[in-house]
Amino acid sequence: MRAVLLSETGGPEVLRIEELPTPEPADGEVLIRVRAASINPIDWKQRRGLSQKELPAVLGNDISGTIERSRADGFAEGEDVFGFAPGGGYAEFAVAPPAAIAKKPAGVSHDEAAGIPVSGLTAWQALFDRGGLQSGQTLLVAGAAGGVGHFAVQFGKHAGARVIGTGSARNREFVLSLGADEYVDYASEDVAEVVGDADVVFDTVGGETTKTLVPAVREGGTIVVIAGAPPEAEATERGARAELLIMRSSAEQLARIAELVAAGEVKVEIAGTFSLSQVAQAHELSEAGHTRGKLILEP
């Protein structure tokens, strides 16, 4: 099979397309013919050596495809599934255990399904598992147009929350079209001056942005971060909580999100689709940090 193999860390040029043996599913696993895989920031961080990964390796976590061979109960050959590929998803084939995948609804494309796992579950777990977001509360999403952020805006609105997104001026109309009630342009507005009563603040950006968001959370509220250390001391001073979310796989939550997409209640924004031979270009776009929605590889 053709796959993108990472043998050394470095820039996008170290990503090589190689012919590798098609993996064999172990007992309790399925072999999936990959129709689409999505790119996440962790991928280029591993490529650059900023996040540890044993090499050589096939990058990528998110896939959607068709079961080629099943050695797992509840999944049959020919069924369309999506989820996580522990051995890497930038390839024509991947193996996965049942706990890491869910059946793809007919109304969801492979590109859309591949965009859900990491970003969708991260947003879902940040808002509901950690933030405890409820109807009538206020949610602030920093980086609202990104892969994780655009899911969070829609999940928050679907849950009945008042949703405020932050980002650059060029993404204002896009984020509002997702259902956000308000939008803050971080380049020309101070988030803390506009928002000071958020029940849940979700920071998808990290870095210097994190501490600027603390004044936006109300007393008793929660700030959830995914891209750096949680500002625990600053949050405590406001009588709030700060938590770091490490996303976990959940077949049940994958299925729930896919149902929302199939019903048209949540949209997976596709920023661009690329062949395996264009993987370096896709990584460059992801690493630049200005992507709206998801970048998809189509093996």
Separation of alpha carbons 205 and 231, rounded Å = 13
> Which pLDDT score is estimated for 122?
98
Q: Where are the domains of the chain?
A: 2-115+270-297, 122-244
pLDDT of 198 over the 90 cut = yes
- pLDDT band of residue 116 (cuts 50, 70, 90) is very high
- pLDDT band of residue 291 (cuts 50, 70, 90) is confident
Helices (H), 97-188: 110-114, 117-124, 147-158, 172-177
Of residues 111 and 209, which shows the higher confidence score? 111
Q: CATH code for 122-244?
A: 3.40.50.720
Among positive and negative, which fits the CA dihedral 247, 249, 251, 252? negative
Q: How far apart are the first and last CA of the chain?
A: 10
pLDDT of 282 over the 90 cut = yes
Which whole number is the average pLDDT over 128-152? 97
Give the three-state DSSP class for 24. Answer: coil
**Which is it for strands 30-39 and 62-70: parallel, antiparallel or unpaired?**
antiparallel
Q: For the whole model, what pTM was predicted? A: 0.95
- pLDDT band of residue 175 (cuts 50, 70, 90) is very high
Q: Does domain 2-115+270-297 have CATH number 3.40.50.10860?
A: no
